[in-house]
Amino acid sequence: MALFRIYSFLAPFHILVLCQALRNYPDNEVTLLDSMSAPGDLGWEAYPPEGWEEISVMDERNIPMRTYQVCNVMEANQNNWLRTGLIQREGAQRVYVEIKFTLRDCNSLPGVPGTCKETFNVYYHESNNAVAAPLRHIRESQYVKIDTIAADESFTQTDVGDRVMKLNTEVRDISGLSKRGLYLAFQDLGACIALVSLRVFYKRCPLAVLNLARFPDTVTGGDSALVEVRGTCVEDAEELEAPRMFCSADGGWLVPIGRCVCRPGFEEVDGHCQPCRSGFYKASAMDAYCVKCPPHSYSHQDKASECVCERGFYRAELDPRSMACTRPPSAPGNPISMVNETAVTLEWSPPRESGGRGDVSYSVHCRKCSGEPGAAGDSEKCVPCGSGPHFNPRQFGLTHPRVLVTELQPHTNYTFSIEALNGVSDLSPSPRQLVSVNVTTSQTDKSQMSVILKERKGTDSVTLAWQGPEPSDGTVVEYEVTYYEKNQQDQNYTVLKTKSNSMTVDGLKPGTTYIFRIRARTDGGYGNYRGEIELETSHEDMLAVGDPNQQTILAISVAGGAVLLVLLVACFVVSGRRCGYIKAKQDPEEEKMQFQHGRVKLPETRTYIHPHTYEDPNQAVRDFAKEIEVSNIRIERVIGAGEFGEVCSGRLRLPSKREIQVAIKSLKAGYSEQQRRDFLSEASIMGQFDHPNIIRLEGVVTRCKPVMIVTEYMENGSLDSFLKKHDGQFTVIQLVGMMRGIAAGMQYLSEMNYVHRDLAARNILVNGNLVCKVSDFGLSRVLEDDPEAAYTTRGGKIPIRWTAPEAITYRKFTSASDVWSYGIVMWEVISYGERPYWEMSNQDVIKAIDEGYRLPAPMDCPVVLHQLMLDCWEKNRSDRPKFGQIVNTLDRLIRNPSSLKQLANTAVWEDPVTPEAGASTVEDWLDLIKMGQYKEHFSSAGYVTLDSVLYVSASELDKMGVALAGHQKKILSSIQCLQTQHGTQVQV
């Protein structure tokens, strides 16, 4: 028997083996057995004894290394078994077996019979026992065959002579394991093999920290299912939305959902929560960073969630924690009184020191003094006035430093004490500071007349009414009403006459204060002016709804001893601009705000405030965007071009914060004021949002040039180009994860009542973790910025392919039209950035949609996703799903990936567009299917006519160098279409 030995071949292994030995395995693989690192004998069992032999060879460091070899090629009927010891599976349900071996080419062995083999078999057997039955009793039926292994590379005598060793590596996986461990067995049926190494491992998703949540080391699932893992917030963080991720079968983490945020008193630094330093605080978990204590407050200790007020300063219950601590105001100054019989007008000047607040109000305390000595004997006896006097507009909580007190008793001494108050007066233990005025009333005039404002119509007309006791000197013939603009007395009087007790005065100027005076003419002539009223007409842009506490513009004084009966008619004004909650862009039908009893009722959730509701757009920027010192920004490189100028990446280092990478948009020189406003409007919109799927605003630079908007940096840029660049490279779950993120961002926007209008993959940005965020909030963007926007017949500029029909035809933009656009984005994602409706013209798209045509499912699109797209493209907008429903549907699909297995179709292209139809050469065809980068590959491989392409198979694409699975699929399915066109059906 000639027994070939291959020991001599092993010497050249040295180098190879060393390389292997030094190899670091990926950290998502956990090795259960590695024959190369076994310290002593492997102790595997071989049967029969003349079969597999354990041979030690030395690696480069002279460390013995175990191999098994068999080479009984000269004899037929070989059945040589080699079995490992029990390999504990450590809870893994799926393990991988990596075999490295060399195999001798039978033809290269002189004189071997035809029974020589070039394969061997690998089996496994699950067991709970560390001791297995002896191999000589092996029954194949107890073992499960993993595979018959053939060498990709066998070697010949020449190779041996040349000392060229051809090492093969094969990896197989075994899933569904449940027992304590498994035995692996190698069956040789007559080959010449050296088993150089065996490694058994399983995959896990290694411990990861993302969005402040820690995800533990997780063993991958048994089949291809994803394992959903709940993250736990890192120390000092709390859940904003339950953090979850999915561990995929190949050991990667997918689809991060939810996030933790640092609790109050802590801020995020490099994935940890760090306590705020003394002098800093963070009030809410939702705030990103610790910030400096506001004026007149301090925090001596770390972790402050609010700062404590300095001595003598206070914080009112509703004061934001970011507001400076304040103190009560000083006393009002310079009180003066104007007595008219039994009425007195008191006026004073505001306190010199407001205490740092804007909510100063005044209270007037009244005491009546009898003229008799008081209890102490030396001063008058004074008692509280009680309910007798009438204070106009009120006694307490006066916002202007003036009050009219009527219905006082004649010939009586009064003392009025006036105090200034603010929101923290009640918190201060110090005595209040008051100013006092003493007043003595006189006799009442019996011929009183009272004038009232009865009605205010529009902005230029008022109706007055008056009444009074009949004058003693005759019957009233008529009344004369005289009026003039206050402060213009010398120039213009207007005199009107009436017989009745009321009059409407027209032709007044809006927003102007007038003095009206009235006197009666009797048989005996004109009497004295008895009534006088001062009032201001409405401003042009004011709405006639009232909030008596907010905007009282009626200022009334009485002259000539009149007792004023002021009827506060509904004449109060709430300016739409001031209320700050008008959404200029939004649809009134969908408007959530309501006016109730003349007051703006705010919805419970936060609502987006359109910058146009601000009279001064700069104020909107100040309200919603933080000003950043330009010295804190370092610009590094240009990454894109925006409508208003370059977009750069760079670093932002705010005082006492860690440096972060940012994107910086700047406004190019030579801009108009309108352009500056439009540019900054994006910041005042973005600054109102706080959601992990909405691009975050870091701040703005407006105090020096160029004006800049600074946002978080998104490493992978815009979604459309990102997808095109990585065509075919993501799992469907990763794609669904991206869609889920976009839907969650849109859900947030729709809940804020913000309608995006230009939702498209080009306006989504992608960060390094594949998290997608909605961006592009500029006001002018739909009109100007978007190259996809085209003019419609009604004059507006609209990105037709992404826009719902009702928005195109009658500009009905709503969250439901955003849902339509979202369906198009889903289509863009699944087709890796394909252009919706391909090269169809905009007009054709509009027509096709109107006739009921909808985009077909892209290649490899799961049925459920295409159905969701079709739901988004329902003609009737109320039939489309809401963003919240879309998020729930996608969450369900991610949890149950088998629901994504059924694909909508296998052909990429459907009528009305079949790009292959237009192709006459291979180059054209590749260009049309966007695979033009492979023109060289095809021509070098000899495929020069379209007919020749019809027979290309996957393995030929491999050989040509078309390696990406997604590209192969795209090309092959297009070939199927070509075959249909040619009436050919070839198995590819």
Active site residues: 758
Distances (CA, A) of 461 to 499, 548, 908, 966: 19, 21, 70, 74
What count of other Cβ atoms lies within 10 Å of the Cβ of residue 256?
23
Nearest 10 degrees: CA dihedral of 842, 845, 846, 851? 160
Task: Report CA torsion sign: 935, 940, 943, 949.
Answer: negative
Which one of the spans 91-99, 113-121, 705-713, 847-855 is the region binding ligand AMP (CB under 6 A)?
Answer: 705-713
User: SS3 for 48?
Assistant: coil
In angstroms, what is the minimal distance from the CB of 758 to ligand AMP?
10
- Tell me the closest approach of the beta carbon of residue 682 to ligand AMP, in angstroms: 8
Residue 712 or 927 having the CB closest to ligand AMP = 712
138 alpha-carbon distance from chain centroid: 62
Q: Determine if 640 is a binding residue for ligand AMP (CB under 6 A).
A: yes
* Residues with Cβ within 8 Å of residue 140, at least 6 apart in sequence: 123
Q: CB-wise, 450 or 693, nearer to ligand AMP?
A: 693
Sketch the per residue contact string, 660 through 699, with ligand AMP: x for CB under 6 A, - otherwise.
Answer: ---x-------------------------------x----
For residue 48, is the peptide bond before it cis, meaning its omega torsion is within 30 degrees of 0? yes
Q: Which of 702, 711, 753, 821 binds ligand AMP (CB under 6 A)?
A: 711
Residues 349-378 that bind ligand AMP (CB under 6 A): none
**Sheet containing 461-467, strands listed edge to edge, beginning at the edge strand earlier in sequence:** 450-457, 461-467, 502-505
Q: Which of 181, 546, 642, 699 binds ligand AMP (CB under 6 A)?
A: 642
Q: Given the complex with ligand AMP, which of 265 and 650 has the nearer CB atom?
A: 650
Count Cβ atoms within 10 A of the Cβ of residue 717 and give its class: 0-12 exposed, 13-18 middle, 19 or more buried. Answer: middle
Does 647 help bind ligand AMP (rule: CB under 6 A)? Answer: yes
* Contact criterion met (CB below 8 Å) for 287 and 321: no
Beta strands in 354-449 (DSSP E): 361-373, 380-384, 390-392, 402-406, 413-421, 434-440
d(CA 896, CA 863): 14
Angle at which helix 732-751 crosses helix 815-830, to 10 degrees, equals: 170
Do residues 716 and 669 touch, judged by C-beta distance below 8 A?
no
Name the residue with the smallest CB distance to ligand AMP: 640
Q: Contact with ligand AMP (CB under 6 A): which of 30, 234, 323, 639? A: 639
Tell me the sheet residues that pair with 215. Answer: 208
Handedness of CA 294, 297, 300, 301 (dihedral sign): negative
Nearest to 383 by CA among 423, 362, 413: 413
**What is the per-residue binding string for ligand AMP in 762-781, x denoting contact by CB under 6 A?**
---x---------xx-----
Q: How far is the CB of 908 from ligand AMP (least distance, A)?
A: 27
Q: How far is the CB of 610 from ligand AMP (least distance, A)?
A: 19
Question: 267 vs 788, which CB is nearer to ligand AMP?
Answer: 788
Query: What separation in angstroms does the CA of 450 have from each of 277, 376, 520, 529?
Result: 65, 43, 13, 11
257 binds ligand AMP (CB under 6 A): no
Q: Provide the minimum distance between the beta carbon of 491 and ligand AMP in the complex, in angstroms, as a whole number.
A: 56
Q: How many Cα atoms sit within 13 Å of 635 on the Cβ side?
A: 14
User: Whole-angstrom Cα distance, residue 240 to residue 548?
Assistant: 40
Q: Is 718 a binder of ligand AMP (CB under 6 A)?
A: yes
Q: DSSP state, 569?
A: -
Residue 777 CB, nearest approach to ligand AMP (Å) = 9
CB of 152 to ligand AMP, least distance (A): 43
**Tokens 């050919």 sit on residue:** 984
Q: Provide, rounded to whole angstroms, the least separation between the CB of residue 642 and ligand AMP.
A: 3
Which residues partner with 416 through β-bridges?
366, 437
Nearer to ligand AMP, 369 or 694 (CB): 694
Least distance (Å) between residue 679 CB and ligand AMP: 10
* Touching ligand AMP, residues 468-497 (CB under 6 A): none
Four-CA torsion 555, 560, 565, 567, nearest 10 degrees: -30
Sign of the four-CA dihedral 885, 886, 887, 891: positive
CB-nearer residue toward ligand AMP: 721 or 888: 721
Q: Least distance (Å) from ligand AMP to the CB of residue 836? A: 18
According to CB under 6 A, which residues from 786 to 805 bind ligand AMP? none
Q: Which of 714, 749, 845, 894 forms a contact with ligand AMP (CB under 6 A)? A: 714
Rounded alpha-carbon distances, angstroms, from residue 317 to 264, 453, 921: 18, 39, 77
Neighbours of 619 (CB within 10 A): 13
Q: Which lies closer to ligand AMP via its Cβ, residue 124 or residue 754? A: 754
How far apart are alpha carbons 559 and 806 in whole angstroms?
A: 62
Work out the number of other CB atoms within 10 angstroms of the CB of residue 157.
13
Query: Of 364 and 683, which CB lies nearer to ligand AMP in the complex structure?
Result: 683
Contacting range for ligand AMP; rule: CB under 6 A; set: 212-220, 541-549, 711-719, 748-756:
711-719
Give the nearer residue to ligand AMP in terms of CB position, either 61 or 725: 725
Calpha distance 252→210 (Å, rounded): 13
CB of 636 to ligand AMP, least distance (A): 12
DSSP category for residue 486? T
Per CB under 6 A, the segment of 139-147, 276-284, 622-630, 706-714 that binds ligand AMP is 706-714
Q: Which stretch binds ligand AMP (CB under 6 A): 54-62, 224-232, 583-591, 639-647?
A: 639-647
Contact status: 645 vs ligand AMP (CB under 6 A): no
Q: Which is nearer to ligand AMP, 155 or 644 (CB)?
A: 644
Both tokens assigned to 39: 């310290």
* CB of 150 or CB of 647, closer to ligand AMP: 647
CB of residue 213 vs ligand AMP: minimum separation in angstroms?
23
Nearest Cα neighbor of 981 from 931, 925, 923, 938 is 925
- Which range in 55-63, 531-539, 638-646, 972-980 contacts ligand AMP by CB under 6 A? 638-646
With contacts defined by CB under 6 A, name the span among 226-234, 406-414, 611-619, 634-642 that binds ligand AMP.
Answer: 634-642
The mark string for 726-765 relative to ligand AMP (x by CB under 6 A, - otherwise) is: ---------------------------------------x
Select the span of 36-44, 590-598, 640-648, 698-706 touching ligand AMP (CB under 6 A).
640-648
Total site size for ligand AMP, rule CB under 6 A: 16
**Separation CA 769–CA 782 (nearest Å):** 29
Q: Considering the complex, what minimum distance in angstroms separates the CB of residue 699 from ligand AMP?
A: 13
Written as six digits, the tokens of 494 are 């207007």
Longest CA span, the chain:
156
* Closer by beta carbon to ligand AMP, 557 or else 649: 649
Binding residues for ligand AMP, rule: CB under 6 A, are 639-640, 642-643, 647, 663, 695, 711-714, 717-718, 765, 775-776
